[in-house]
Amino acid sequence: MQGNFTYHNPTKLYFGEEAMSHLAGELKGYGPVVMLSYGGGSIKKNGIYDAVVAVLKETGKTIVEDPGVMPNPTYEKVMEGCHLVRDNKVDLILAVGGGSTIDYAKAVSASAYCEEDAWEKYWVKQGWPSCQTVAVGSVLTMVGTGSEMNGGSVITNRKAGFKLGKVFGPALYPKFTILNPRFTMTVPQYQMVAGFFDIMSHLMEQYFAGKADCTTDYLIEGLMRSLIHSSRIAAKNPQDYEARANIMWTATWALNTLLKCGKGGDWEVHQIGHAIGLVTDATHGMTLASVSLPYYRHVMQDGLHQFVRFATNVWGVRPEGKSDEQVANEGLSCLESWMKEIGVVMHSSELGVSEKNLQAVTDAVKILPVGYRTLTRDEVVEILRESM
């Protein structure tokens, strides 16, 4: 373990099939006006909307409807939410959906009373709220982002030409989150496996950094093995409760800030994935899947020791009689086989990336000076071409 850190996570989690029974008690701690934020309306078809609204009415809340949060929430939509918050004097934003809806709720919370340009302040300059914020709670229906227990908020600004993330402090974490694994069974297979890879990517982004013997790496390896095991079961039988529950719990711990303790991080796969999502509006987890193997093969030599560890400790590769490079490559081949097994997108061309928009994607990539190697813009192009 290296460095100094403080770990504090204020989000209260209610997990399991009876988790919704705690929503009424949580709502009593907030004022009378609740903004109900959700996506395209699938929660109205699967009964989750009715269940949540029933609790809101039971607790005497005034409901401000805020539907239409898109999978890659836009800054324009955030501004619409800000108007609803101010006009209705909202006391709590209740996000019902996946990570995009929760990311959106945090963005609205931080921006509604911000007197500056919120995009510039938070997502460009990475500043901090100095204004009134609004409490956020969540009911999770799709796993992947970990947004239910962190301060992350990824927003797309098409006018500015960027999709950027901002990690707010604990004050913007959801105050509470309802985690019922049954709710995740309403998600289509494509979205489900995209979420699985999003979890894996979060783990790898934090794993492939640093050189010291770190307790956090052992935690990440255990979570990876759990995810690999349960995802194989869920991909074949999405209704397997135990598998879906294990995956839901792994997703939360993969990105609730615990795993960055004592480590750095990479996050360049996410930057490239965000750029693809900006240009093509593709599903986030699939954008990550499409570029991960080209990226990791590109930087493998720079962090060879960790890629060897990944192969042996996560995938069970036997190192006897092999060079470090052979072991590391075998580990990445195991990753590739698992990706194909669960059914994620393997090539960015399947998502709409082509030579015609390659420059637009490249220009939208934010290059971070982190991980084992800081990319050049030419290397980004090379990785994207390999991903196609």
> pLDDT tens track of the chain, all 388 residues?
777 888 899 999 999 999 999 999 999 999 999 999 999 888 999 999 999 999 999 999 999 999 999 999 999 999 999 999 999 999 999 999 999 999 999 999 999 999 999 999 999 999 999 999 999 999 999 999 999 999 999 999 999 989 999 999 999 999 999 999 999 999 999 999 999 999 999 999 999 998 888 999 999 999 999 999 999 999 999 999 999 999 999 999 999 999 998 888 999 999 999 999 999 999 999 999 999 999 999 999 999 999 999 999 999 999 999 999 999 999 999 999 999 999 999 999 999 999 999 999 999 999 999 889 999 999 999 999 999 9
pTM value is 0.95
Instruction: Sheet with 135-140: list strands edge to edge.
Output: 12-15, 176-179, 135-140, 92-97, 33-37, 62-66
Residue type, 270: H
Instruction: Name the token pair of 137.
Output: 């709670």
Q: What is the enclosing helix (H) or strand (E) of 27?
A: helix 23-27
User: By CB neighbour count within 10 A (0-12 exposed, 13-18 middle, 19+ buried), where does 233 fall?
Assistant: middle
132 CB neighbour count, 10 Å cutoff: 11
Name the 3-class secondary structure at 63.
strand
**Region of 245 on the Ramachandran plot (φ > 0 left; ψ -120 to 50 alpha; else beta):** alpha
Q: Name beta bridge partners: 165.
A: 154
Q: How many CB atoms lie within 10 A of CB 46?
A: 14
Query: 């029933």: which residue's tokens?
Result: 54
| Residue 169 near residue 179, CB atoms below 8 Å | no
| CA distance readout (Å), 179 to 17, 20, 251, 292, 325 | 8, 8, 11, 28, 41
Measured at the alpha carbon of residue 148, what is the angle toward residues 285 and 91, in degrees to the nearest 5?
130
Q: Which of 181, 177, 175 is nearest to 242 (CA)?
A: 181
